[in-house]
A and B are shown apart, each in its own frame.
Chain A
Amino acid sequence: MAEVKHLIEVRGLKKTYQSGYIRVEAVRNMDFFIDDAEFVTLMGRSGSGKSTLLSILGALNHPTGGKVMVDSLDIYALTSEQRADFRSEYIGFIFQSFQLIPYLTVLENVKLPMAVTGRKKKIQDRMAEEVIERVGLTAKSLRLPDQLSGGEQERVAIARAIVNKPPLILADEPTGNLDSKTAGDIMGLLKSLNSDGHTVIVVTHNPDMESYAGRTIRVRDGECFV
């Protein structure tokens, strides 16, 4: 096990996209760390590389160079099967567009990440009901996503992200499609999850969200400024 002092350590991270003759350096030599139970916002303008960075942190996007250590695991040195297990065990994703399955109920959507965990159905039901209660949607657990408001759909996405009790919650513009009041509610919910011990990393371009975070990492032209 490598010697690490932080939950997440990013060292010399690079990501280059090549499209024909065009070479885009989305991430350029980033170094930073994030501690356990921190609430961090990744702030930057559109195209700054923050979403690429988030996908790399989430073990979804292989970097061109450098290392990402999470809980002492060099996540891109793992086999693809181990990396899939890593995502299942460690990461809860929240997307801007919610990414809910339209023909599944709230309860069924929330239970989806548990399909690969091998837990018994009763335990899955209980865990799903707990997180649905946590996000305040118990009364609507049998509704379909299109019967919910945008804020409620985001809450379902958050419930789905935390149902496997991941240490790390990664949210990509979670308030991008919401009005300011609902956005504030969602950030408040993420803040309370952080208080429960989850490490939360939120990608946003909205400076108003900065107040919820303990720390902000600014991303500009593929470089980060801690």
Chain B
Amino acid sequence: MAYDPEKYREKREKVLGIKKRGIGFGTLAAIVSLLVVAGLGAVTVPRAVSYMATRNLDDAIFKLESGASWPKTAISELSAMEGVKQIVQDKNGSRLVVTYDHRKVKTDAVIEGFVRQDLKVTLLNEINHRQHRTTMENEEEDGEAP
């Protein structure tokens, strides 16, 4: 019978390693390892990024001694202060949470800013920003008003 090079092509390719027989152990191990690393990365990287972004932030919680709502001018002026990252009022507007970078500004400087605007304020609490955020999230989950 005449020799037909196509007849045993599949076998020839297996011998020469052109046609792979399934996934090799090394490839499978690499894929599983990559999946595990990617999974761990998906969990840890956002946390690490969030931590790096907020590790120098503190929250100071103020209220006006009069118990009135906070004037908008006071909030906008405070927002312009170097080192102040965020200002949030609670739902009824009586408490003001000032988030600031403790490397650039101290609580005393924030209070001085209020004094310059003739506002008498009470400092209710100073707390690490991340810790405060976690507390707020827990309170929200428990259904407590912030």
Chain A contact residues, CB within 8 Å of chain B: 1, 4-7, 35-38, 71-73, 78, 82, 85-86, 89-90, 118, 167
Contact = CB atoms under 8 A, between A and B. Distances in A.
Nearest to B16: A82
Given A72-B12, A89-B11, A1 B5 contact: yes
A78 B17 CA distance: 11
B137 to A, nearest CB: 51
B7 interface: yes
Q: How large is the interface on B (under 10, 10 to 19, 20 to 34, 35 or more residues)?
A: 10 to 19
B5 A71 contact: yes
Contacts of A38: 1
B1 A78 contact: no
A62 B142 CA distance: 79
A85 B3 contact: no
B15 to A, nearest CB: 5
Contact of B17 (A5, A71, A73, A82): A82
B11 A37 contact: no
Given A5-B3, A6-B3, A85-B14, A71 B8 contact: yes
Contact of A35 (B1, B12, B17, B21): B1
A85 B2 contact: no
B46 interface: no
Interface of B is mostly: loop
Contacts of A72: 5, 12
A38 B12 CA distance: 20
Contacts of B15: 73, 78, 82, 85-86, 89-90
Contacts of A73: 12, 15-16
B4 interface: yes
B22 interface: yes
Interface in B20-50: 21-22
Nearest to A6: B3
26 contacts: A1-B5, A5-B3, A35-B2, A36-B1, A36-B3, A36-B7, A71-B5, A71-B8, A71-B12, A72-B5, A72-B12, A73-B12, A73-B15, A73-B16, A78-B15, A82-B16, A82-B17, A85-B14, A85-B15, A89-B11, A89-B15, A90-B11, A118-B21, A118-B22, A167-B7, A167-B11
Given A89-B11, A90-B11, 15 more contacts: A35-B3, A38-B1, A71-B8, A72-B12, A73-B12, A73-B15, A78-B15, A82-B15, A82-B17, A86-B15, A89-B14, A89-B15, A90-B8, A118-B22, A167-B8
A73 B12 CA distance: 8
A82 B17 CA distance: 8
Given A82-B16, A82-B17, A118-B22, A71 B11 contact: yes
A90 B8 CA distance: 9
Given A71-B8, A118-B21, A37 B1 contact: yes
Given A118-B21, A118-B22, A36 B4 contact: yes
